[in-house]
Every structure is written in structure tokens, then in C-alpha cells.
Structure 1
Amino acid sequence: MPAYTIVTTSATEGSEAAEVSTLADEFVDTSEALGYSRRMAEEMVGMARQLMLDFDYSNVGLYEGDLLEEDLNPEHPSFIGIWVLDQDGAAFVTAEEFDAGEVEADAP
């Protein structure tokens, strides 16, 4: 099974700090990793709604490979895509769309 790394980044309106978590796991294929990261993104949106938090920037990035020891960002060659979170929910942006500037990203 191939390994994938999922990076969650969240911050709320008015906060200078961001919480970043990284995990690597094996999935059957990209589709399964994408589904798992989607559920994580939806859970983050749900928690923000329950706590009545306004998003400043929050996302769930998906990378191919076990990359826990690397500095990951959307410019990394293993970047697959990112779930961009806002008050309306989670929307997936592929690496190609991200590179083309089809999303505004404030996250590090």
C-alpha cells in the first residue's frame, strides 16, 4: 500500500497562531487517502461551527509518500491537493488548480 501524508492547518479569525498537525499512513490508493482527508476536513468545519469560530485560514493538505520529516507546502513535488475550509464547508483544490492560482491561500 502506498503512503500518504496529511497536513491539517487551522487558525481562527483574529488569531496570530495556527495549529498544524501532520500524519502519515498507508492507503489502498489516492482515492482512499482523498476520502480520509475529506472526512478530516469536514470534521474541522463541523467543530468550528459547534464552537462558533470564524475561519481565518484552515486547510487539509494531501501529499504522496511518508513525509513526516520534510517541510511541506503546496510547492512540494509530492503535493496532490488541498481541502480549503471556510464557513460554507470544504472544497478540494488539486495541485494543478493551486499552481494555476485558482484559489486564494493565506496559509503557510
Structure 2
Amino acid sequence: MPAFTIVTTSATQDSDAAEVNTLTDDFGSETEALGYSRRMADEMLGLAAQLSLDFDYSNVALYDGDLLEEDLDPDHPALIGVWVLDEEGCSYVPAAEFRESLAEPEA
């Protein structure tokens, strides 16, 4: 079974701090890992709604491989994609598109 690493980052508006958690596990396929990461994103949104939190730059990133001991960021070549969380829900952004959005200057 292939290993995948899921990194959750949650930050609320009006806060400079972010909580980052990393999980590495074996999944049957990339599709299974993607579905699991989606459920994690949905759970984060549900928790935020219960606590009346407004997310700022929260996301759930999926990486290919057991990368628990590595420093992971969007430039890491193993990034598959990111579930971006906001007030409208979560949306999946493939790695290349996510990197492009980070490179674009904000208006």
C-alpha cells in the first residue's frame, strides 16, 4: 500500500498563529488518500462552524509518500493538491494551480 502524508493547517482570522498537524498513513490508492483528506477538511469546517470561527489561511494538503520527518511546504515536489477552506466550504486545488495562486500578487 502506498504511503501518503496529510498536513492540516488551521488559522483563524485576527490571529497570527496557525496550528499545523502532520499525519502519515498507508492508503490503497491516491484516490483513497484524497477522499480521506477531503473528510478531514469537512471535519475542520464542521468544527469551525460549531465554534463560530472564521478561517483565514486554513487548508489540508496531500503529499505522495511518507514524509513525516520532512519540512513540507507547497514547493515540495511530492505535493499532490490542497483542500482550501473558507466560509463557502472546501475546494480542491491541484498542486500546480495552488503554487500559481501563491505566486500571484494580491490586488
TM-score by length of 1: 0.91
**Partner in structure 1 of residue 96 of structure 2:** 96
1:15-57 deviation line (CA, Å, top 9, x unaligned)? 1110000010000110000000000000000110111111111
Which residue of structure 1 aligns with residue 11 of structure 2? 11
Alignment partner, residue 64 of structure 1: 64
Q: Aligned partners of 1:60, 1:101: CA distance in 2, in Å?
A: 16
Q: For the residues of structure 2 that align with 1:54 and 1:88, how far apart are their CA atoms?
A: 11
Aligned length: 104
Distance 1:38 1:52, change over 3 A: same
Which SS does the other structure have where 2:101 is aligned? Answer: coil
The answer for the alignment partner of 1:76 in structure 2 is 76
Give yes or no for contact 1:93–1:103 (8 Å, CA) kept in 2: no
Alpha-carbon separation, structure 1, partners of 2:43 and 2:69 = 26
- Alignment gaps of 5+ in structure 1: none
Q: Distance in 2 between matches of 1:101 and 1:89?
A: 18
Q: Which has more helix, going by share of residues?
A: 2
Q: Is the 8 A contact 1:97 1:103 kept in 2?
A: no
| Alignment partner of 1:46 is 2:46 | yes
Would you tell me which structure has more strand in proportion to its own residues?
A: 1
User: Could you list the runs of 4 or more consecutive aligned residues of structure 1 that deviate by over 6 angstroms after TM superposition?
Assistant: none
Distance 2:93 2:64 in 1: 15
